[in-house]
Amino acid sequence: MFRIQAKAMPSFIEALLLICVIVITMSVSISIFKSSPHIPIIISIILLLLFGLVKKISYKDLENGLVEGSKAGLGAIFIFFFIGILISALLMGGTIPTLIYVGFSTISPHFFFAIVFLISCIVGVAVGSSLTTTATVGVAFIGMASAMDISLAITAGAIVSGAFFGDKMSPLSDTTNLSSSIVGVDLFEHIKNMAWTTIPAFILSFILFAILSPSKSVDNTQKIDAFQQALLATGLIHWYAFIPLILLVMMAIKKIPAIPTLAISSAVAIILAFFMHSYTITNVFAILYDGYKSTTGFADIDQLLSRGGLTSMFSTIGLVFLALAMGGLLFTTGVIQAILLKIEHLFRSQGSAITGAASTAIGVNILIGEQYLSILLTSEAFQDQFKKVGLHPKNLARVVEDAGTVVNPLVPWSVCGIFITSVLGVSTLDYLPFAFFCLLSPILTIVFAWTGKTLTQLPSTKKA
């Protein structure tokens, strides 16, 4: 049974037409009118409320659908607050700047694309944001490639691949937390389970970028040198800045829940910050709320390090609430049920269920261009089907990351696609063939689905 029961059952044609109207509304608003996703989602909610009233569903039931839908995101929202605090704390304590500095130290005269990919992975995991990684170190790499007459398309592909590896695997990432929370899986168990598809995709991508790397020496590293000097000037680069990160990893291995892990790591980073700089309690509270503000005078470094805080999470939290509320209405009005009942016979095996979920996540990205909705709608729609075929929910969490999170930058009219093209100056279609990690992830998740490898069964379905 679905988590939210339908109060009406529209025909398949009615449901399909309504979905098309919502898709068109979202797509046009985001890609043509450059709207934040929040506004078209509110418009879609109004359309669903009107549809429900036409179908004689009481307003009280519709309101309950909104509330029940949003409840599914409460776990993720609480974690988002702690992530905002942790990012600020790791910046104050020097963990993130030190990690980035070490990443830049790996620049080699050879294997340029592979090194760009690797550093983008490191920075992506450190900051938990693909777009921040792309807009900062990504821009620096594009500048280097341009100066050395190296392919900008392949360079952009390496940047995007690494940035979205980080977005997918970082405990600081909002999409990673959302995917685990929406299906009720522990954050670090989710990250561990994603490794089955992510590590092979990482290795294959690294090999491909190494093969494509130019044989000539990379002599013009002034931009990277400038980055490193600006990082050193912050006074945040210290070996002991890794202590909070090591603690975070150790607690994750011990399977300590996400919120205590994030809170303890934040506390340790704040203690380090007191040793490194003369912060007052008032300063710390302000930074934890509003985020860390870098004032090095080096624009790219300041943009990279000025982030975090509770306020940085408000937009994401609002979007998650609205998207989940819309999902609740889609179930309350029977729209999702009407469509799934029509095609349910296609998803009766584990392989077909995973393929269906992956296709749905990709489809939402292509049709609507919104990363969060691809995760939220796919997770809500397929939870029941995964249980029917005996698959543990963490399989679904992995699928929506493999086919939802990392596919968004491959769509020219998506939120990520538009942003990346604007900051790197390379069109989505140009870098798409070289975004190997983003291309391999959905392929591997479907391949493993049909082979049965790396899948976790529900306890009652395990073979004796």
pLDDT in tens, 242-255: 898 888 878 877 77
Distance CA(259)–CA(140), nearest Å, equals 34
CA–CA separation, 157 and 173 (whole Å): 20
Assign 395 a pLDDT band (cuts: 50, 70, 90): very high
Q: Crossing angle of helices 38-54/314-332, nearest 10°?
A: 20
Average pLDDT along the chain: 86
Under DSSP, the state recorded for 402 is I
Backbone angles phi, psi at 407, to 5 degrees: -85, -25
Sequence-separated (6 or more) residues with CB below 8 Å from residue 406: 164, 167, 168, 437, 438, 441, 442
> How do residues 305-364 score in pLDDT, each as one tens digit?
888 889 988 887 888 788 878 888 988 999 988 888 888 778 889 999 999 999 999 988
> Which tens digit of pLDDT belongs to each residue from 20-68?
998 898 888 877 888 888 899 899 999 999 999 999 999 999 999 999 8
pLDDT digits (tens, 9 = 90+) for 434-449: 999 999 999 999 999 9
Contact 410, 417 (CB under 8 A): yes
Q: What are 168-203's pLDDT values in tens digits?
A: 998 888 889 889 988 889 888 999 999 999 999 999
pLDDT at residue number 464 = 39
Estimate to the nearest angstrom the gap between the alpha carbon of 458 and the chain centroid: 26
Position 108 confidence tier, pLDDT thresholds 50, 70, 90: low
Lowest mean pLDDT among 96-100, 134-138, 221-225: 221-225
> Would the CA dihedral through 338, 343, 345, 347 be positive or negative?
negative
Q: Hey, where are the domains in the chain?
A: 75-313
3-state secondary structure at position 406: coil
Q: Quote the pLDDT of residue 3.
A: 65
Q: What is the rounded distance in angstroms from the CA atom of residue 277 to the CA atom of residue 282?
A: 14
Q: Which residue's structure tokens are 């944001």?
A: 129
Considering the chain, what percentage of its residues have pLDDT values greater than 70? 94
Predicted confidence (pLDDT) per residue in 115-158, tens digit = 999 989 988 888 788 887 887 678 778 867 775 678 899 999 99
User: Helix %, strand %, coil % for the chain, to 5?
Assistant: 75, 0, 25
| pLDDT number for residue 264 | 92
Task: Give 282: exposed, middle or buried? Use CB within 10 Å, 0-12, 13-18, 19+.
Answer: exposed
